[in-house]
Amino acid sequence: MEIINNPNKGTWSDILKRPTQTLDAIEGIVGEVFQEVISNGDAAIQKYTAKFDDVTLESALVSDTETKAAINQVSEPLKKAIIQAKENIEAFHAAQKTEPVRVETTPGVSCWQEKRPIEKVGLYIPGGTAPLFSTVLMLAIPAKLAGCKEIVLCSPPNKKGNLAPEILFTAQLCGVTKIIKVGGIQAIAGMTFGTKTIPQVYKIFGPGNQFVTVAKQLATKYGVAIDMPAGPSELLVVADDSADPAYVASDLLSQAEHGMDSQVILVSNSKALIEKVSDEIASQISVLPRKAIAEKAINNSKLIFVGDDATALEMINEYGPEHFIICTKNEGFYVSGIMNAGSVFIGNYTPESAGDYASGTNHTLPTNGFTKAYSGVNLDSFMKQMTFQKISEKGLKAIGKTIENMAEAEGLQAHKNAVSIRLKDLK
């Protein structure tokens, strides 16, 4: 990892740049796939699954027989782990339920807000080198709690044309209504437009590579909502001499192994800690099964020395990390001062892996600096907030003149008349 000492603020944007391709390099192929799916439906899905995933499927729909067989392949210890994680995630997300908000703004004018579930949602679950069954928990659990009627899951098949047994076990455990063996751009296109096999949905959730991220953004042009722009994983750790270098290195590597385009950053006011972490990374990475992937990500990553906490916090807020770990004596300063982060992990015994799997918080988070404007997935992500109002005769008399005056000032006579005709009857 590159070590940078006290970088000038004017260089921060270059130093903190993500290792992502430009949209121009990706949008062409995404648009091409979308147009073919619009024209040819399942045939286009099958074509691109063969092209990108190197497998030809007779049917992309997962059958009950496949699901039952997969469940038997998952070990009992892993089933117990998934069930415990499910319970924690359910507890945290169920606590996010809120009661309707009711206010009488003026005597006789009642306004209230209630939440309704999004009826049809699509969940994208990354596969490939690391099938993320944990993401099924993070998306299907709040979808079920919210009351979504259709929960469609898409995930890329392996070379044998199957999904990981862990994905299928978790999906049936969490109430997914349909499972499709399709990934990448074609999965997002399928859920956007609908095919004979893939239902059209109203909102698409889930992380993915840069192609999936751009595909989700393109889906919004066709009237389908998305949770957020969520691309390659990233982690920033702030640490001082109170941190354990081995712990810090393990956290950095835990995200580096996600993919070659992942990025991890350490910000510290201790040059000694930076050196120790660098040595630990070299030691720990050598025995990782995904060493080659982690090494590529580490090449995108940095160890940054800064002189004080205030500068460090300013830099961190400028970067806006997906995951943010705080391992400093002055942790309260960072906890109260962080404005732009997807999920925050505090203390030497709070690894980012806890949030990825089982503590209860959601791991589907904005990346690439979108934490400045987006939240991570939560229960409300699967719901719409609707407002209601009921006005009595007394209420309309109280605010009628106000409405008339405002409508007339805007030159909208029909708006005024809709009130005036009622007020005449109430005299």
| Catalytic machinery residues | 322-323
Tell me, rounded to whole angstroms, the distance of Cα 390 from its chain centroid: 37
Tell me, rounded to whole angstroms, the distance of Cα 241 from its chain centroid: 32
Q: In DSSP terms, which residues pair with 234 in a beta bridge? A: 263
CB-CB contact of 174 with 92 (8 Å): no
Residue 54 marked as a ligand binder: no
**Interior CA angle at 283 toward 281 and 289, to 5°?**
90
CA nearest neighbour of 71 among 162, 167, 136, 157: 167
Distance CA(33)–CA(47), nearest Å, equals: 10
CA torsion 15-19-24-25 (nearest 10°) is: 140
Can you tell me which residue has the tokens 């928990």? 137
Residue 363 marked as a ligand binder: no
Residue 124 marked as a ligand binder: yes
- Helical (H) or strand (E) element with 272: helix 271-285
Distance CA(20)–CA(262), nearest Å, equals: 9
- DSSP state for residue 63 in the 8-state scheme: P
CB neighbour class for 365 (10 Å; exposed up to 12, middle 13-18, buried from 19): buried
Distance CA(358)–CA(363), nearest Å, equals: 10
Residue 284 marked as a ligand binder: no
CA nearest neighbour of 41 among 195, 186, 244, 162: 195
CB-CB contact of 4 with 304 (8 Å): yes
CA torsion 154-159-165-166 (nearest 10°) is: -70
Distance CA(179)–CA(181), nearest Å, equals: 7
- DSSP state for residue 42 in the 8-state scheme: H
Distance CA(110)–CA(55), nearest Å, equals: 58
Residue 255 marked as a ligand binder: yes
Q: Is 28 helix (H, G, I), strand (E, B) or coil?
A: helix
Residue 46 marked as a ligand binder: no
Q: In the chain, count of helices (H) and strands (E)?
A: 17, 14
Which parts are annotated binding residues?
A: 124, 186, 209, 233, 255, 258, 323, 356, 410, 415
Which parts are annotated binding residues for substrate?
A: 233, 255, 258, 323, 356, 410, 415
Which parts are annotated binding residues for NAD(+)?
A: 124, 186, 209
